[in-house]
Amino acid sequence: MEEDESRVNHTRVGILFDRLRWEEKEIFHEFEKRGIVAELIDSKNIVAEIGRSQSLSLPSLVLQRCLSFHRAFNLAATLEAFGTLVVNSSSVLEICGNKLLTSHLLAKNGIPTPKTAVSFSLESALNAIEAVGYPCVMKPIIGSWGRQVVPIRDRETAEALIEMRDQQAGDSTNSIFYVQELVDRPPRDIRCITSGGEIIASVYRYAPPMSWKTNVALGGRTEPCPMSRELEEIVIKTSQAISKDGILGIDIMESKSSGYVVHEVNGTVEFRGAQQATEKSIAGLIVQSVLARASDARSETKDRLEEKDSERRKNVLSAMQQTSRP
C-alpha cells in the first residue's frame, strides 16, 4: 500500500480550464489533500505545434474541465494526439457535447429517452416538430445551461420560432432542428453523477418559481434523491454505453407515462448544486476515480512494454539460434 501511495504522490496531474469555477478549485484541493499539487492550466494560453509533442510541456494526465464544448473537444483531441491521457476523452466529449449524437447512442443501447426527431433544413423543420407532436421542445444540438431551449405548444409558435431561426446568422447549427417531446413530469428532474462507472451522487433538481427549467445555473435548487434499483440500472447502463472510465452528469426525467427517461448527458459536469444535497465530497470521489484510471493506464503501459520486450528477446534468441547452426 505504501508503495502504491508513493507512486500516486508522484503523479503529475493537470486541471485544464477556461473559467476557474468552484468545481475546479474543489478538485484542486482534493488532489492537494492526497499530496499531489495539480497544475491549473488555462486552456486559452495553450499553443500546440501539430506533429511536435515536445512543443507542449504538460502532465501525462489531464482532467478536462473547459466550459466551452468546442475548446474542450478539440483540446482533448490535440493532447491525446500528443500521448496525454485526458479525462474525459475527446470521444466522450464529442458524444456528450452533441445532443443528437447522445440521442443516437442512447437509442442504439435501448436506453429510454423522450420522443425525438431531427431535420436539417428550414423547409422540413415543421415536419420534425409535428412528428414529435405538441407540446414539444426545440433545443440547439450544442449548448448548456438551458440556453435557447424553447417550448412549443402549437403550430403558430412553431412557425414563429422557425422564422426566427431563419433570421439568425453566423451559426451553422441553426439549420439543424432538434425536437423532443415536452415530457409530462413533476417540476423536477434527476441529476446523477458517475465517475469510473460508479454512481457518486444523485439529486433532484427543482425549477425556480415561474420557470420550467431545472438548471441550477438558472436558479434551480437541489435535494437528495434516493437511488431505486430501476434508477440505478438506467444510470449505470447509460454510463457504460458512453464511457466506463468517464465522469458524467446524467439527467433523467420521471415521465408520468413512460417512467424514467434520459434526456441529456454532460461531459464536463458541474456539481456545486449537487454537492449542496449530499454529504460525500463529489470532488474527492472524482479525484479518487481519476487516480485509479491513471494507475490502470500505467499498468497497461507496463504490460505493453513487457510484452514488446519479451517479443524482442524471442526474436534475438531466434536469430542467435539461426546463426549458430553449422
Q: Say which residue, 30 or 320, is predicted with more confidence.
A: 30
Report the candidate in 268, 225, 272 with the shortest Cα–Cα distance to residue 249. Answer: 268
Q: What is the CATH number of domain 2-87?
A: 3.40.50.20
Q: What pLDDT, on the 0 to 100 scale, is given for residue 175?
A: 86
Q: Label residue 231 by pLDDT band (50, 70, 90).
A: very high
User: What sign does the dihedral 9-10-16-20 (CA atoms) show?
Assistant: positive
> Residue 88 is which amino acid?
N
Burial 187-202, CB ≥16 within 10 A → b, else e: ebbbbbbbbbeebbbb
Q: What pLDDT, on the 0 to 100 scale, is given for residue 296?
A: 67
Q: Walk across the sheet containing 177-181 and list its strands.
A: 116-119, 177-181, 136-139, 150-152
CATH superfamily of 115-181: ATP-grasp fold, A domain (3.30.1490.20)
Q: Say which residue, 174 or 26, is predicted with more confidence.
A: 26
> Range(s) for CATH 3.30.1490.20 in the chain?
115-181
Q: Label residue 253 by pLDDT band (50, 70, 90).
A: very high
Q: To which residue does cell 479525484 refer?
A: 287
- Averaged pLDDT for residues 44-71: 91
**279: DSSP letter:** S
Q: To which residue does cell 507496463 refer?
A: 302
Q: Label residue 208 by pLDDT band (50, 70, 90).
A: confident
Residue 9: partners with Cβ closer than 8 Å, 6 or more residues away: 34, 35, 36
Question: What angle (nearest 5°) sits at the alpha carbon of residue 18, between those of residues 13 and 19?
Answer: 105
3-state secondary structure of 111: coil
Q: Say which residue, 298 or 84, is predicted with more confidence.
A: 84
> Range(s) for CATH 3.40.50.20 in the chain?
2-87
Q: What pLDDT, on the 0 to 100 scale, is given for residue 314?
A: 62
- Averaged pLDDT for residues 104-113: 97
- Options 3.30.300.30, 3.10.20.30, 3.40.50.300, 3.30.470.20; CATH for 184-275 is 3.30.470.20
Number of neighbours of residue 42 by Cβ within 10 angstroms = 12
Tell me the C-alpha distance between 250 and 278, whole Å.
Answer: 16
> Range(s) for CATH 3.30.470.20 in the chain?
184-275
- pLDDT at residue 243 is higher than 50: yes
Q: Label residue 321 by pLDDT band (50, 70, 90).
A: low
Residue 120, burial from CB neighbour count under 10 angstroms (0-12, 13-18, 19+): exposed
Tell me the C-alpha distance between 132 and 119, whole Å.
Answer: 12
Residue 291: partners with Cβ closer than 8 Å, 6 or more residues away: 8, 11, 34, 36
Q: What pLDDT, on the 0 to 100 scale, is given for residue 308?
A: 47
Mean pLDDT for the chain overall: 87
Q: Label residue 311 by pLDDT band (50, 70, 90).
A: low
